[in-house]
Amino acid sequence: MDATNNTILIIGGPNAGKTHFGGQLYGRLNARTESYKITSPPEDLTIFQEVLDNLNDGKSSGHTNVSAHKTLELEIEDGSGAKSVFSFPDYGGEQVRTIVHDRRINKVWKEQIDKSNAWMLFVRLDEITMIEDVVNRGLPDQEVLRNRNEKTEPMTLSDTAFYTELLQILLYIKKIGVKQKIANLKLTVVLSCWDLLPDGDQNKIPEEILQDKVPGLFSYITSTWKQETYNVIGLSSIEKTLSDKESDHDFVKKGPENFGYVITSAGQKETDLTLTISTLIG
Condensed to tens digits (0 to 9), the pLDDT of residues 94-140 reads: 889 899 999 999 998 999 999 999 999 999 998 887 665 444 455 55
Helices (H), the chain: 18-31, 46-56, 94-102, 107-115, 142-150, 159-173, 199-202, 206-213, 215-224, 249-254, 275-281
What's the confidence (pLDDT) of residue 136?
Answer: 45
Per the CB < 8 A criterion, the answer to whether 213 and 129 are in contact is no
Position 17 scores a pLDDT of 87
pLDDT at 278 (0 to 100): 73
Q: What is the pLDDT of residues 179-210, one digit of tens each?
A: 999 999 999 999 999 999 999 999 999 999 99
Domains in the chain: boundaries: 6-131+138-281
Which residue ranges of the chain lie beneath pLDDT 50?
Answer: 1-2, 68-69, 133-136
pLDDT of residue 91: 64
What pLDDT is recorded for position 276? 75
**Reported pTM:** 0.86
Residue 74: helix, strand or coil by DSSP?
Answer: strand
The pLDDT value recorded for residue 195 is: 94
Q: For residue 185, what is the DSSP state?
A: S
CB-CB contact of 120 with 11 (8 Å): yes
Domain 6-131+138-281 has CATH 1.10.1740.10: no
Measured distance CA(36)–CA(29) in Å, rounded: 6
Q: Please, are residues 131 and 213 in contact by the beta-carbon 8 Å criterion?
A: no
